[in-house]
Amino acid sequence: MLAALRNATTEVWDHRDLLEQLALRDIKLRYKQAAMGFMWAVFMPCLIVLSGLIIRYAMARIAGQTLVASDVANIAVKGVGWAFFVGALGFATASLVGNSSLVTKIYFPREVLPLSAVAAQSFDTTIGLGTLLVLLPFLGVRAHMSLLWVPALLALLVVFTTAASLFLSCANLFYRDVKYIVQIVLMFGIFFTPVFFEPSMLGTRGAHLAMLNPMTGILEGLRITIVAGQDLSRPITTLVHGVETPMWEPWELVYSAVWAIGGLLGATAMFRRLQPLFAEFI
C-alpha cells in the first residue's frame, strides 16, 4: 500500500501543473457565467448555519433556554468544515465519469481528477474560512493557544476527504449508482454527524456512539479548539442536567487520523490497482 502511495505521489507530483490547471478550470467554471459569483463560496456554509440555527432555536425554546452567540459560532465552524466535505465529495465522485472524454483518450495519472475536485473545493472553503475569521470575533470568540491544533485538524479533514474522494470517484466509475448513494448519504449525513448538535447532548452512550463517526473528531476538534478554546490532549466533560457527560475524548483524534491516513492508503492502493481498467469500463 505504501508503494502504491509512493507511485501515486510521484506521478501526481510530475503532473502537478495538470492538477493546477484542472483545479483552476473547475474554479473558473464555477464563477464564470454564474449569477452568484463569489457568493457561491459562502452560500452553502450560510445555508448550513441557518438550518442549524433553526433547529437549535427550536431545541432551546422547548428547553426554555435562549440561543447565545457561541451557539452560532459552534455551528458556523462545523458548518464550514462540513460544507467542504460535502462539496468536495459531490464534485469528486463525479470527477472521473464527468471527464470520461479525457479518461478514454489521454493518459495521465487519474488521481488528478478527484484531487483537482478537492483542490477546487478547498479554494471555496478558504473563502469561507476567511469570512469566518472576520465574523468570529463578533461572536465572542477570542484567540487561544488551542488554535495551534487547527492546522492539524484541517489537514486531517483534507486527508480524510481526499481518501473518500479517491474511493468514491473510482467506485462511481464502475457502478454508476454510487453517485446517487453518495448524494443521499451526504444529504442525511448531517444528522448523523455532530454539526448542529454536540455529542454530549446525546448522553454518555450516545456521545460515544457519535464519536465513532470519523468526522466527529475532526469537526468537534475544530469547534472545541476554536470556539471553546480548550486543549484536545485530555478528556473534556460537560454537565448535562447535572450528569457529567463526555464532550471530548483524546482517542477521537487518533481514531479520525487512523481513518484518514488508513483510508488514504487503502483508497490509493485501490485506485492504482483499478486505474488501468478505467478507460475500458467507463
**Which residues of this chain interact with other proteins, rule CB under 8 A?**
15, 17-18, 20-22, 24-25, 28-29, 32-33, 101-102, 104-108, 174-178, 181, 276-277, 279-281
Q: Cell 457502478 appears where?
A: 175
Sign (positive or negative) of CA dihedral 114, 260, 151, 196: positive
Give the integer Cα–Cα distance in Å for 128 and 221: 18
* Beta carbon of residue 185, minimum distance to other proteins (angstroms, whole number): 13
* Beta carbon of residue 219, minimum distance to other proteins (angstroms, whole number): 28
With b for 16 or more beta-carbon neighbours within 10 A and e for fewer, the 194-218 pattern comes to bbbbbbbbbeeeebeebbebbbbbb
Q: Are 157 and 218 in contact (CB under 8 A)?
A: yes
Give the integer Cα–Cα distance in Å for 132 and 222: 13
Of 154 and 182, the one with the shorter C-beta distance to other proteins is 182
Of 88 and 113, the one with the shorter C-beta distance to other proteins is 113
Give the integer Cα–Cα distance in Å for 115 and 148: 26
Cell numbers of 238, please? 460537560
The 10 Å Cβ neighbour count of residue 98 is 17
* Beta carbon of residue 18, minimum distance to other proteins (angstroms, whole number): 4
* Beta carbon of residue 31, minimum distance to other proteins (angstroms, whole number): 11
* Beta carbon of residue 268, minimum distance to other proteins (angstroms, whole number): 18
Of 123 and 174, the one with the shorter C-beta distance to other proteins is 174
Of 81 and 109, the one with the shorter C-beta distance to other proteins is 109
Of 22 and 269, the one with the shorter C-beta distance to other proteins is 22
